[in-house]
Amino acid sequence: MIDKKEFLLQSIIRAYIKHLEPIGSTQLKNMYDISYSPATIRGYFKKLGEDGYLAQEHISSGRVPTTQALKQYWSNRLDFEIGEIDLDMIQRISEQIGATVFIKQNDESLLQDILNIDNRYMILEFSDFAITIKFSSALYRFLQDMRGLELEGILDVSKQVGAVELYNELANKISNNSYEVINMKNFLRMAVEYNMSEKDIQDFLRGRILEKLQSGIYFEGLLPKNYIGICHDCKLNGINIKMLVVGELSKDYDYFYKGIRR
Q: Are 97 and 247 in contact (CB under 8 A)?
A: yes
Q: How far apart are CA 72 and CA 88, in angstroms?
A: 30
Given this model, what pLDDT does residue 238 score? 87
Q: How far apart are CA 208 and CA 206, in angstroms?
A: 6
Q: Are 153 and 141 in contact (CB under 8 A)?
A: no
Identity of residue 185: K
Given this model, what pLDDT does residue 86 score? 96
For 79-106+178-260, CATH number? Answer: 3.30.450
| 3-state SS class at 197 | coil
Q: How far apart are CA 176 and CA 206, in angstroms?
A: 9
Residue 229's nearest CA partner among 4, 262, 196, 238 is: 196
The pTM of the full predicted model, rounded to 2 decimals, is 0.78
Residues in the chain: 262
Distances (CA, A) of 232 to 10, 101, 154: 24, 11, 21
Q: Taking the domains of the chain in order of start, what are their residue ranges?
A: 4-73, 79-106+178-260, 111-175
* Cβ count within 10 A of residue 128: 12
The DSSP output letter for 224 is -
Identity of residue 35: S
Q: What is the pLDDT along the chain (262 residues), one digit of tens a residue?
A: 468 999 999 999 999 999 999 999 999 999 999 999 999 999 999 999 999 999 998 777 799 999 999 999 999 999 888 999 999 999 999 999 999 999 998 777 899 999 999 999 999 999 878 999 999 999 999 999 999 998 878 988 898 889 999 998 888 777 666 789 999 999 999 999 999 999 999 999 988 899 889 999 999 999 999 999 999 999 998 888 999 999 999 999 999 999 999 8
* Cβ count within 10 A of residue 72: 15
Q: How far apart are CA 149 and CA 206, in angstroms?
A: 25
Q: For residue 37, is it left (φ>0), alpha (ψ between -120 and 50) or beta?
A: beta
Given this model, what pLDDT does residue 87 score? 95
Given this model, what pLDDT does residue 118 score? 94
Distances (CA, A) of 225 to 73, 100, 118, 212: 16, 16, 54, 20
φ, ψ (nearest 5 deg) of residue 39:
-65, -40
For 4-73, CATH number? Answer: 1.10.10.10
Given this model, what pLDDT does residue 15 score? 97
Distances (CA, A) of 66 to 46, 49, 56, 110, 239: 13, 9, 10, 46, 38
Q: How far apart are CA 187 and CA 184, in angstroms?
A: 5
List the beta strands (DSSP E) in 127-256.
130-134, 179-182, 216-223, 227-236, 239-248
Given this model, what pLDDT does residue 2 score? 65
- Dihedral of alpha carbons 111, 148, 242, 69, sign: negative
